[in-house]
Amino acid sequence: MARVIFDGVSKIYSGGGQAAVNNLNMEIHDREFLVLVGPSGCGKSTAMRMVAGLEEISEGQIIIGDRVVNDLPPKDRDVAMVFQSYALYPHMTVRDNLAYPLKLRKIPKGEREQRVRKAAQTLDIEQFLDRKPKALSGGQRQRVALGRAIVRDADVFLMDEPLSNLDAKLRVQTRAELIKLHERVQTTIIYVTHDQVEAMTMGDRIAVMSLGVLQQLATPQELYDHPANKFVAGFIGSPSMNFLDVNIEASDGRLYAATPGFKMRVPDEKGRILERYRGQTVTLGVRPEHLVERSRLESHTAPDATIPVQVDVIELLGNEIFVYLQNAGTVLTSRMDPDIKLERGQKIEVAAEPHRLHFFDPQTEEVVA
């Protein structure tokens, strides 16, 4: 088992332009399940491929265990990779697919068979050992691809969007299997995905990337509760966080967040950090699940701490409803309990608990703190 360290790692492709990965500094702990997440083109797959040795490093160092691996060929890095495509040999049985990486390394036949049997037991594919890939379902093929990595007994597992080819139901099932697999094999795993739900449910920690730059590295709950900037706040959570540009105004010794559609008192604990923005515009953020009808707030809410809105669209989802609310041309999304009785065109007031409000600097987009 091994830790993985990115020390000032950058990747700039020939022809110049923006770096695919820009000065990445990050440590993945031994036996940690770390998820790299971000939109397409953010650099997450490039970062993983540099660990595997499939991409050259332009600047910096990658350390696996105690070795700098910049100049090591992929076969000497002791990493095993699972790709988005299963990449199974169609003419080989499952047994032979699993054994092939060991055969290339000239592992004795007896040990090969032992490792294959152990991997098959771990992934519950023993009954498929004599089948060929075409006789397997998508989920079974993905488990074979995982098994081919497990038999390697590598220090680090690299997984590049391994569930993206599966249907929604199978993705949820295989996601749970991967979590249990990590508990059993206790290996360092770096997992790449663009799906923030996968990231939140699987990772011990999550590294959020955008345009080649690491935005925040933290536990799933820390990312949700305390996003470092507007990008992380909008990327983590579904539906996405509501953002509004508000002017910070002072009146009667208090601060208010004002727009053409409302004037809401800033909570006292937020007022201290927003004092320096008096007379300026900042971005207010609130998650849909935290924006609730006033009467349903657990704590008493003063009238000047609410937002008047008109119900525009109601989406019924069974266990919850998404309500789209209009305020002076601005649309807000709220996730509410299904037992609330609302009609389109109805005027209500919504609010959020003070500690659920986030404020971001309009220039840097960093959280105001």
**pLDDT per residue as tens digits for the range 263-278:** 988 888 888 889 999 9
Q: Do 20 and 123 reside in the same domain of the chain?
A: yes
Q: Do 20 and 122 reside in the same domain of the chain?
A: yes
The answer to whether residue 346 sits within a structural domain is: yes
pLDDT tens digits for range 279-298: 999 999 999 999 999 887 76
Mean pLDDT of the residues in the chain: 90
Angle subtended by helix axes 94-104 and 138-150, to nearest 10: 20
| Residues in contact with 316: Cβ distance below 8 Å, sequence separation at least 6, in sequence order | 338
Centre a 10 Å sphere on the Cβ of residue 14 and count the other Cβ atoms it contains: 6
The answer to whether residue 294 sits within a structural domain is: yes
Domain ranges, residue 195: 4-227
The answer to whether residue 234 sits within a structural domain is: no
Residue 292 near residue 342 (C-beta atoms within 8 A): no
pLDDT at residue 303 in the model: 63
Top-confidence range, 25-39, 111-125, 291-305: 25-39
Whether pLDDT at 311 is above 90: yes
Nearest to 189 by CA among 149, 218, 223: 149
Task: Give the CA angle between residues 86, 92, 94 to the nearest 5°.
Answer: 65
pTM assigned to the model: 0.88
DSSP letter string, 335-347: EE-TT----TT-E
CA dihedral 182, 186, 190, 191 (to 10 degrees): 0
Q: Do 22 and 95 reside in the same domain of the chain?
A: yes
Compute CA distances 342 → 98, 286, 287, 332, 335, whole Å: 56, 21, 20, 15, 13
The answer to whether residue 50 sits within a structural domain is: yes
Q: Do 206 and 269 reside in the same domain of the chain?
A: no
Q: What confidence tier does 75 reach under pLDDT thresholds 50, 70, 90? A: confident
Q: Do 193 and 325 reside in the same domain of the chain?
A: no
Residue 32 near residue 217 (C-beta atoms within 8 A): no
Please tell me the least confidently modeled range out of 89-93, 123-127, 171-175, 365-369.
171-175
Q: Do 186 and 246 reside in the same domain of the chain?
A: no
Structure tokens that stand for 138 in this block: 């998508």
The answer to whether residue 366 sits within a structural domain is: no
Q: Do 332 and 213 reside in the same domain of the chain?
A: no
Percent of the chain with pLDDT over 70: 98
Q: Do 169 and 316 reside in the same domain of the chain?
A: no
First to last CA, the chain: 38
Of 227, 251, 272, the last residue of a domain is 227
The answer to whether residue 368 sits within a structural domain is: no
Q: What confidence tier does 1 reach under pLDDT thresholds 50, 70, 90? A: low
Residue 112 is part of a domain; what is its CATH number? Answer: 3.40.50.300
Of 201, 227, 253, the last residue of a domain is 227
Q: Do 308 and 335 reside in the same domain of the chain?
A: yes
Q: What confidence tier does 85 reach under pLDDT thresholds 50, 70, 90? A: confident
Domain count, the chain: 2
Whether pLDDT at 302 is above 70: no
213-242: average pLDDT: 96
Nearest to 43 by CA among 165, 211, 241: 211
Residue 3 near residue 27 (C-beta atoms within 8 A): yes
Return d(Cα 120, Cα 168) in angstroms, integer: 24
The answer to whether residue 58 sits within a structural domain is: yes
Residue 327 is part of a domain; what is its CATH number? Answer: 2.40.50.140
The answer to whether residue 10 sits within a structural domain is: yes
Of 227, 261, 286, the last residue of a domain is 227
Q: Do 219 and 325 reside in the same domain of the chain?
A: no
Whether pLDDT at 305 is above 90: no
Nearest to 66 by CA among 8, 9, 2, 10: 2
pLDDT at residue 298 in the model: 65
Q: Do 292 and 152 reside in the same domain of the chain?
A: no
Alpha-helix residue ranges (DSSP H) falling in the chain: 44-52, 94-104, 109-123, 138-150, 168-185, 196-202, 220-225, 230-235, 268-274
Q: Do 344 and 256 reside in the same domain of the chain?
A: yes
